[in-house]
Amino acid sequence: MLEGLLIGLQTAMSFQNLAMVIAGCLIGTFIGMLPGLGPMSIIAIMIPVAISMGDPSAALILLAGVYYGAIFGGSTSSILLNAPGVAGTVASSFDGYPMTKKGKAGKALTIAAIASFVGGTIGAILLMIFAPMLSSVALLFHSAEYFALMVVGLSAIAAFAGTGQVAKAILMTVFGLIMATVGEGTLFSLPRFTGGIMDLQTGFGFITLAMAMFALPEALFLVLKPKEAGSAGLEIKDLRITGKEARTIAPVIGRQSLQGFFIGVLPGAGATIASFLGYAVERNLASNEEQEEFGKGSIKGLAAPETANNAACTGSFVPLLTLGIPGSGTTAILLGALIALNISPGPRLMIDEPQIFWAVIMSMFIGNLVLLILNLPLIPYIAKILSIPRNFLIPFILFFTLMGAYIGQNNATELLILVGFGVCATALKFSDYPLAPLLIGFILGGMLEDNFARSMQLFDGISFIWERPMTLGLLIIAAILIVLPSFRARRARLRAEGVADGD
Amino acid sequence: MALDRWIALIFLGICLVYGYTAWFTMDANLAPFMKRNPIWPSTFPKALSVLAIGASLVILLGIEKSEAKEPEIDYRRLHEYKLGQAIVLLCLMVAYAICLRPVGFIISTTSFLFFGAFVLGERKWILMASIAIINTMTVWYLVQQVLGIYMRPLPGFLGG
């Protein structure tokens, strides 16, 4: 591990990569503050830039910096304006905005900065410890287990979608897989489902789909429903926290770093779930008079989600880097970028390309430090971006989505596909269909089918499912994950009607 | 019928066509030696079509109960939002896609940014024009010179 650390330090400390961390954090923080642009859209916009750099470690470092920056920047607009730019920071606005209304905006931002810093740093240390362990286990995996593991990942994403949403999430995931089968499959070299259209021969463009699913609907929502913005006359003072306050939030930050990290590791649960769960847990653990404070400007209620979402961001890199399975929409986009750079994340990554793996981890430490330095003294200036009029902002967001799709493929037809899919995605968003599962399904589709085909060929049929116990076990877990939420919802409903009280 | 069930109906239609292709028409032009393979190009799509049809039927028939949530935008009252602006912006994007190649990057981007702001209700002409031009030139410089991706800057008859 020490050797790996040194390799990582050497790579991360190069001038280019240091510049990438700083640039990524800055870009992420600035764009993350804009309501409507989450880490997913920002990373989707940044991918063409990252891919054209050609150096995978620099690209991954840049994108990881953007990811933290976005989560961090989102908390700024949550706290100052009650306008969370990112889903993962919605929970920060519960107590952050009341603090701003009380005139404690400076203190709230300081707490957010410190909590995020500690959460991210502890997350990176845990990543360092757990990723090699997980990846040595993962090396025992066979293509059959990979297939089963991806099924588990996909069904976990569906299962975490929430009550009453499981069928929709499953449909979107399967539809993503269906879209991935369009074009030429790697194992067969036969065009499938193209309908004779030449442009579909290579399949749908991943960046086009990412832009159409996330950035475009968000921008259209901003057009349709102008949110009230503007922070005129907002004073930022009283930056320091007292020793007593520090002692109050220290245990919260400690607990939430661990909890957030492990939630982030689970596929399907990302920063959003980690932050809500962190808020809920800390509220339950607090004493009675402190519970009264929650929602009215409690420092504990602000520190908990801020720590948890940053730790979860780091945690979500574990399945990505060790198993090659993205746990969230954002890491799914990162996975797509890595594949475009000819790196296949998985257990072999740490052996074949150790400099990439360790450089990313080292850049996490550097990135967290950069963010802390950035957030503390620069907050009053950073907040100025919130006053860009939306009349100028929205055309730019639209332009950047178009540019992102165009630069990747250099094909103007792709732009028409983008607009078409964007409209469809907006309709799906209206009717509460989750969009992230579709993209995750699309990205995993090719790998899922390849591993499935490989194990079918090795075992000359479907028998690998029962001949390999690990595969069978994983597939059973996947089935349970899908059935469980609807089963629990049904029981809760029956209990509400007073039927199932007997057991 | 609510919008989500209409969408499920559309998905069902797509999946039926997809499933029909996978189950009945796709294997016809498979090479004879590939038929001895345990997995065919159509195997995986066959399984997917069954799953997708099942999931869309669950939504369509309303088997899974879901509690109503307060949506961010209520599509039933879509006309109360700024629908016109959104549609015009989408048309503008389509026009941009069509114009990008023949008209060139600089002219189409400048006008896209200018008219985008105009549609959203901005009327400070000089500010709009200067922001559009400065940003177009900056992006063009970054993409063309720094990243080295070719973009035709001007229409063909101007030597672009």
pLDDT tens-digit map of A417-438: 889 999 999 888 888 888 778 8
Q: Tell me which chain A residues have a C-beta less than 8 angstroms from the C-beta of B73.
A: 221, 224-225, 430
The fraction of chain A above a pLDDT of 70, given in percent, is 86
Any idea what DSSP says for residue A497?
Answer: T
pLDDT band (50, 70, 90) for residue A499:
low
d(CA A386, CA A34) in angstroms, rounded, equals: 7
Contacts of A483 (CB under 8 A, 6+ apart): none
d(CA B95, CA B87) in angstroms, rounded, equals: 12
- Which pLDDT belongs to residue B91? 93
d(CA A275, CA A19) in angstroms, rounded, equals: 30
- Name the amino acid, one letter, at A482: I
Tokens standing for residue B82? 């700024």
Tokens standing for residue A215? 């950035």
Mean pLDDT for all residues in chain A: 78
- Which pLDDT belongs to residue A476? 92
pLDDT for residue A34 is more than 70 = no
d(CA A291, CA A124) in angstroms, rounded, equals: 31
- Which pLDDT belongs to residue A498? 61
C-beta of residue A429 within 8 angstroms of C-beta of residue A217 = yes
- Which pLDDT belongs to residue A54? 73
- Closest CB to A423 among B18, B90, B131: B90
When pLDDT is averaged across residues B120-126 and rounded to a whole number, the result is: 84
Whether residue A167 and residue B4 make contact (CB cut-off 8 A), yes or no, is no
pLDDT tens-digit map of A221-267: 878 876 544 443 445 556 667 778 888 888 889 988 988 888 777 66
Give yes or no: residues B97 and B154 share one domain. Answer: yes
C-beta of residue B122 within 8 angstroms of C-beta of residue B128 = yes
C-beta of residue A393 within 8 angstroms of C-beta of residue A230 = no
- Choose the final residue of a domain: B37, B64, B91: B64
Tokens standing for residue A220? 């259209």
Whether residue A221 and residue B39 make contact (CB cut-off 8 A), yes or no, is no
Give yes or no: residues B44 and B85 share one domain. Answer: no
When pLDDT is averaged across residues A78-92 and rounded to a whole number, the result is: 70
The fraction of chain A above a pLDDT of 90, given in percent, is 3
Is the CB of A389 inside 8 Å of chain B's CB atoms? yes
CA distance A416 to chain B (A): 6
- Which pLDDT belongs to residue A233? 42
Give yes or no: residues B96 and B126 share one domain. Answer: yes
Give yes or no: residues B7 and B43 share one domain. Answer: yes
Q: Tell me which chain A residues have a C-beta less than 8 angstroms from the C-beta of B147.
A: 49, 52, 407
Q: Which domain holds residue B14?
A: 3-64
d(CA A448, CA A451) in angstroms, rounded, equals: 5
- Which pLDDT belongs to residue A501? 46
Q: In this structure, is residue B75 part of a structural domain?
A: no
pLDDT for residue A76 is more than 60 = yes
- Which pLDDT belongs to residue A346? 77
Q: Tell me which chain B residues have a C-beta less than 8 angstroms from the C-beta of A46.
A: none
- Which pLDDT belongs to residue B10? 92
- CB < 8 Å from B in window 121-180 of A: 163-168, 170-171, 174-175, 177-178
Give yes or no: residues B48 and B90 share one domain. Answer: no
Which has more pLDDT, B152 or A472? A472
- Which pLDDT belongs to residue A174? 92
Give yes or no: residues B48 and B117 share one domain. Answer: no
Greatest Cα pair distance, chain A, in angstroms, is: 71
pLDDT for residue A8 is more than 90 = no
pLDDT tens-digit map of A357-401: 887 888 888 888 888 887 777 766 665 555 667 788 788 878 877
Is the CB of A229 inside 8 Å of chain B's CB atoms? no
In whole angstroms, how far apart are CA B129 and each of A237, A387, A388, A396, B20? 38, 20, 16, 14, 53
When pLDDT is averaged across residues A6-12 and rounded to a whole number, the result is: 77
pLDDT for residue A406 is more than 90 = no
Whether residue B64 and residue A225 make contact (CB cut-off 8 A), yes or no, is no
Give yes or no: residues B42 and B108 share one domain. Answer: no
CA torsion angle for B55, B14, A409, A451 (degrees, to 10)?
50
Give yes or no: residues B50 and B93 share one domain. Answer: no
Give yes or no: residues B91 and B58 share one domain. Answer: no
- For chain B, the first-to-last Cα distance in angstroms comes to 53
Helix residue ranges, H only, A229-328: 243-265, 271-285, 288-293, 299-315, 317-323
pLDDT for residue A48 is more than 50 = yes
Structural domain total, chain B: 2
pLDDT tens-digit map of B65-109: 666 666 666 777 777 778 888 889 999 999 998 888 888 888 898
Contacts of B43 (CB under 8 A, 6+ apart): A453, A456
C-beta of residue A497 within 8 angstroms of C-beta of residue A503 = no
pLDDT for residue B128 is more than 70 = yes
Give yes or no: residues B44 and B107 share one domain. Answer: no
Q: Which residue of A has its CA nearest to B91?
A: A419
CA distance B160 to chain A (A): 16
Which has more pLDDT, A90 or A322? A322
Helix residue ranges, H only, A160-201: 166-180
pLDDT tens-digit map of A264-302: 776 655 677 778 778 877 877 877 777 777 777 888 888
d(CA A384, CA A368) in angstroms, rounded, equals: 22
d(CA A445, CA A153) in angstroms, rounded, equals: 12
Give yes or no: residues B50 and B89 share one domain. Answer: no
Give yes or no: residues B86 and B137 share one domain. Answer: yes
d(CA A285, CA A399) in angstroms, rounded, equals: 47
Whether residue B86 and residue A223 make contact (CB cut-off 8 A), yes or no, is yes
d(CA B83, CA B88) in angstroms, rounded, equals: 9
